[in-house]
Amino acid sequence: MTFEKNQNEDAINLEVEADKSAMAANIEQTVKRTALRKVRKLVDKLDSEHAAKERTEKIALIVAAVVVIGFAAWFALGLIASDEKYERGQAVPLPDKVVIPKSD
């Protein structure tokens, strides 16, 4: 009977050890999954921040381009307006006779 009792105890001990190793494996797998989720979440956050930064840079570039084009248009229109104001580009009548003053 003691032999059977020892066999039963050994079987129970093996089952307990198997349960412990299964639990340890399960815990390890759960920890790995949790860590992986955290890493994925961090990568997603970094990607979204990078995309937002790129959008902001594109908008800033567009605004700067619009300002430069507006300034260039304003400058060009100012030059055109000054030509009209001073009547530039029109023929200037030349005198028939040019008098050069005498120097003493």
- Both tokens of residue 48? 């979204």
The residues, ordered by sequence, that sit 6+ positions from 88 with a Cβ below 8 Å of its Cβ are 82
- Statement: residue 63 has pLDDT above 90: yes
34 vs 9 pLDDT, higher one? 34
Long-range contacts of 61-69 (CB under 8 A, 24+ apart): none
Task: Report pLDDT for 23.
Answer: 86
Q: What is the pLDDT of residues 13-36, one digit of tens each?
A: 666 677 778 888 899 999 999 999
Residue 46, phi then psi, degrees to nearest 5: -65, -40
